[in-house]
Structure 1
Amino acid sequence: MADRETTLLDVRDLHVEFRTRDGVAKAVNGVSYRVAAGETLAVLGESGSGKSVTAQAVMGILDSPPGRITGGEVLFRGKDLLAMGAETRRRLRGAKLAMIFQDALSSLNPVMTVGAQLAEMFEVHQSMARKDARARAVRLMERVRIPAAKQRVNDYPHQFSGGMRQRIMIAMALALEPELIIADEPTTALDVTVQAQVMDLLAELQREYNMGLILITHDLGVVADVADKIAVMYAGRIVETSPVHELYRAPAHPYTRGLLDSIPRLDRKGRELYAIKGLPPSLTAVPSGCPFHPRCPRAQDVCRTDRPPLHTVGPGRTSACHFWEETLRDD
């Protein structure tokens, strides 16, 4: 097993753009982060912030065209994935890097049994005999706690509930024991109880295999108990990074504070639920200065003209806010 401090993935100054009829959309604009073995990084932000596009660029599954990587490096164990040929990257997917998609029903083949789809991973990547591959598929289904796996291995995706389909997606991602898994909104459309079960399962499997895990979500409530650190994205940029408990205790960016205040809380029963004013900007027309300034209650003239750098605000903490000290003092 790799040491916990061993860097698996090192994303450096990544840029991705899409050419559209309305102009060039800068979906990812200088994103950098690291993930170590056994570590969970949660990437948070509203829809359109660039979370999933960053993951697609890392995995090498970005639709091109219209998407195009225009700069940066994506180092996996020190080797730049962006410099590799298509076949080399294809061999890494599944074996070293795997992804769990948010819509399990559309990600699974509707005309193949789940057992056949799981077994195919072993047949293609490990040249395993069909009988042996099927036995491995059953064991995987048992590992992700699908009841009566020996019987259900012959069922089709539509015969499973949403939570069970997501467990099958987790099983497929784990099949070849990759070193890093990216989970893109893995609990979307699941009820709260099932969400908790899926997240607990992911955390347990990560500890067992000592995998790196990137958890993409818009829901801060989902990651509190499983993430080690958080990167908050807005308009294609990272605006705050922090160890998870430090961020919940005292956010250093007004956008992060707005996301936290938007979470329903029992101690605010009867109060109107807070919502961040306005909408995220169009990526073809990102505001000058700080992209968040049109929605920010703390915005001043400098925010409208000068883009804030990522300031170091504490151990393992950064914030792209001109007034991060005041934001931290709000608590």
Structure 2
Amino acid sequence: MTTTQKTVPKTETGYQPGPDGLLLEVDDLHVEFHTEDGVARAINGVNFSLHAGETLAILGESGSGKSVTAQAIMGILDMPPARIPQGEVRYCGHDLLTMAEDRRRRTRGPEISMIFQDALSSLNPVFPVGWQIAEMFRKHRGMNKSDSMAQAVRLMERVNIPGAKDRIKAYPHQFSGGMRQRIMIAMSIALDPAVLIADEPTTALDVTVQAQIMNLLAELQEERNMGLILITHDLGVVADVADRIAVMYSGRIMESADVYELYRKPAHPYTLGLLESIPRLDQKGQELSAIGGLPPNLLRLPSGCEFNPRCRFAQDICRRDRPELLPVAPDRLSACHFREEIYHG
């Protein structure tokens, strides 16, 4: 959760956050993919910011653009076929998209780090996990083998891997899914980043392990006062850990709000549909609702509002004019022509 009293993280590159702890600003970001069938517009004008100690959850169905946004921030999109035709990603006021590649590499890892959603495919199967963690210190800090391995043990202990000293030479396949995810977390925090992006960090884990991983991330954020971007499709995962939520659909942010306000009073039909599709203790025995239809083809986005083919509130204006992301209440934004009606019920 937001911690404004602490000192903001120091940055190795000499970049310093603003006086209010502002770390990251994404401004009018567009990402497109050039394919044989045409241009797929994956990100269409995304805007958000992140402060030290804050957790921003980016929420949406598969294909909404969450992971592409994260990859654009990290600078790990394959270009081509990807292209960023416009927008800025400012870290401590410096645009990452126009930064020289060598400086971008020094920012990636020590300053902005990422946990990927599939730990088994993200870890190298032919190297012991301790070696992979220690490599961060060898490459970025110039440590020798023994010192870097000692740091790897320390990090494995910090993320609660039992018998870290004995398991440092074990390989990824010798760990459970939850333990592999802890190793990924250890690698991502090794260099003390100011911004951590967690892309579906609890995918394919059972609910008990999910809770353990989310609690661990919350503890680490509190210790280090990191800015955390949590990417997920699961409303239940973010309820207890996020400060703000940005709801994405078809490459756009459809709604942005404080987490408690969004759950209490959604201001966009898509958010309303997502909330109606999850089980609730106070609605035992009631049939869950589902959002009809499928997300749009990014090669042929619908005219007007991208959500209009699936929206039960859609009218002619929705099929004709694309709504802007505009205020509906203090610290509340919604990209819907009928945001006032939906918000006020």
* TM range, smaller chain: over 0.9
Q: Aligned equivalents of 1:93 and 1:80: distance in 2?
A: 13
SS in structure 1 at match of 2:297? coil
Q: Aligned equivalents of 1:145 and 1:236: distance in 2?
A: 36
**Cα distance per residue 1:28-56 (max 9 Å; x no partner):** 00001000000000001111111110110
Q: Aligned equivalents of 1:264 and 1:154: distance in 2?
A: 42
Map of 1:11 onto structure 2: 26
Give TM-score, length-normalised by structure 2: 0.94
- 2:51 is the alignment partner of 1:36: yes
Q: Aligned equivalents of 2:298 and 2:206: distance in 1?
A: 31
* Offset, 1:270: 2.1
Q: Equivalent of 2:198, from 159, 164, 183?
A: 183
**Cα distance per residue 1:252-297 (max 9 Å; x no partner):** 0000000011111222222222110000000111111111011111
Q: Aligned equivalents of 2:245 and 2:282: distance in 1?
A: 25
Map of 1:142 onto structure 2: 157
Map of 1:193 onto structure 2: 208
* Offset, 1:325: 1.2
- 2:113 is the alignment partner of 1:101: no
Map of 1:153 onto structure 2: 168
Q: Aligned equivalents of 2:198 and 2:181: distance in 1?
A: 11
SS in structure 2 at match of 1:128? coil
- 1:16-165 correspondence runs (5 A): 16-165=31-180
- 2:284 is the alignment partner of 1:269: yes
Structure 2 unaligned residues grouped into runs of 5+: 1-6, 9-16
Q: Aligned equivalents of 2:305 and 2:224: distance in 1?
A: 40
Give TM-score, length-normalised by structure 1: 0.98
Q: Aligned equivalents of 1:87 and 1:108: distance in 2?
A: 24
Aligned residue identity for 1:40: T
* Offset, 1:15: 0.5
Map of 2:297 onto structure 1: 282
Aligned residue identity for 2:157: E
* Offset, 1:177: 0.2
- After superposing the two structures, state which structure 1 stretch, 321-330 or 76-85, moved more: 321-330
Map of 2:13 onto structure 1: none
Q: Aligned equivalents of 1:326 and 1:277: distance in 2?
A: 21
- 2:249 is the alignment partner of 1:218: no
Map of 2:14 onto structure 1: none
Q: Aligned equivalents of 1:42 and 1:320: distance in 2?
A: 18
Aligned residue identity for 1:293: N
Alpha carbon RMSD of aligned pairs, Å? 1.0
Query: Number of residue pairs matched?
Result: 330
- After superposing the two structures, state which structure 1 stretch, 82-91 or 10-19, moved more: 82-91
* Offset, 1:328: 1.2
- 2:244 is the alignment partner of 1:229: yes
* Offset, 1:85: 1.6
Aligned residue identity for 2:133: L
Q: Equivalent of 2:334, from 314, 319, 322?
A: 319
Moved over 4 A (4+): none
* Offset, 1:82: 0.6
Map of 2:12 onto structure 1: none
**Cα distance per residue 1:220-262 (max 9 Å; x no partner):** 1100010000100111111100010000000000000000111
Map of 1:302 onto structure 2: 317
Aligned residue identity for 2:294: L
* Offset, 1:91: 1.2
Map of 1:239 onto structure 2: 254
SS in structure 2 at match of 1:279? coil
Structure 1 unaligned residues grouped into runs of 5+: none
Q: Aligned equivalents of 2:68 and 2:322: distance in 1?
A: 22
Q: Aligned equivalents of 2:287 and 2:331: distance in 1?
A: 34
Matched-pair identity in %: 69
- After superposing the two structures, state which structure 1 stretch, 16-25 or 26-35, moved more: 16-25
Aligned residue identity for 1:210: N
Q: Aligned equivalents of 2:236 and 2:37: distance in 1?
A: 35
